[in-house]
């Protein structure tokens, strides 16, 4: 006749987290449910945030344009006449040129600028950006020619 004490211990051991006892990760996750859920949520948010950059940039630009606020983000190696260009955009068309980055820029900033750029061209009826860039470059070159040569 089997011993009732050993039989009940074997059954209770078998019914408790059998596979979790063999896998310490499952044991930890079951013991720390709130921590596990929080960690998984943070990872999911981080992944979603990075993949939604394009959407975030274009939505932000559309909201600004709907409010009548035209802004273009500048990034990359700047032209020497960028200050004149920014002034012309502001004075002629009320567009703010905002310098946001060097050569490394997020997708949300690229998409913001694309949406805002296209909306400004539609609103004003022509490519105001190339117009202002050409005029700014000419003004810059004229100011250089007017300066005495400092190398002599």
Overall pTM > 0.85: no
What average pLDDT does range 72-100 have in this prediction? 92
pLDDT in tens, 137-151: 999 999 888 887 655
**What are phi and psi for residue 127, nearest 5 degrees?**
-80, 90
Alpha helix positions (H), the chain: 4-15, 18-22, 24-31, 33-51, 53-66, 82-88, 107-124, 128-146
Q: What is the pLDDT of residue 152?
A: 46
Nearest to 26 by CA among 35, 17, 37: 17
d(C-alpha 91, C-alpha 1), whole Å: 100
Q: pLDDT grade, residue 64 (50/70/90)?
A: very high
Q: What is the pLDDT of residue 50?
A: 74
pLDDT in tens, 94-128: 999 998 877 888 888 889 999 999 999 999 999 99
Flag whether pLDDT at 130 surpasses 50.
yes
Flag whether pLDDT at 30 surpasses 70.
yes
Q: What is the pLDDT of residue 22?
A: 76
């Amino acid at each position: 006749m089997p011993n009732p004490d050993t039989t009940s211990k074997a059954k209770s051991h078998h019914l408790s987290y059998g596979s979790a006892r063999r896998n310490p990760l499952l044991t930890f996750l079951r013991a720390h449910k709130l921590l596990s859920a929080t960690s998984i949520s943070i990872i999911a948010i981080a992944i979603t945030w990075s993949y939604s950059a394009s959407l975030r940039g274009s939505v932000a630009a559309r909201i600004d344009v709907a409010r009548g606020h035209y802004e273009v983000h500048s990034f990359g190696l700047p032209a020497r006449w960028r200050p004149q260009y920014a002034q012309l955009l502001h004075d002629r068309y009320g567009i703010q040129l905002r310098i946001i980055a060097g050569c490394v820029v997020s997708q949300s900033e690229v998409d913001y600028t694309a949406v805002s750029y296209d909306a400004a061209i539609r609103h004003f009826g022509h490519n105001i950006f190339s117009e202002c860039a050409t005029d700014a470059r000419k003004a810059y070159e004229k100011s250089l020619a007017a300066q005495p040569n400092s190398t002599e």
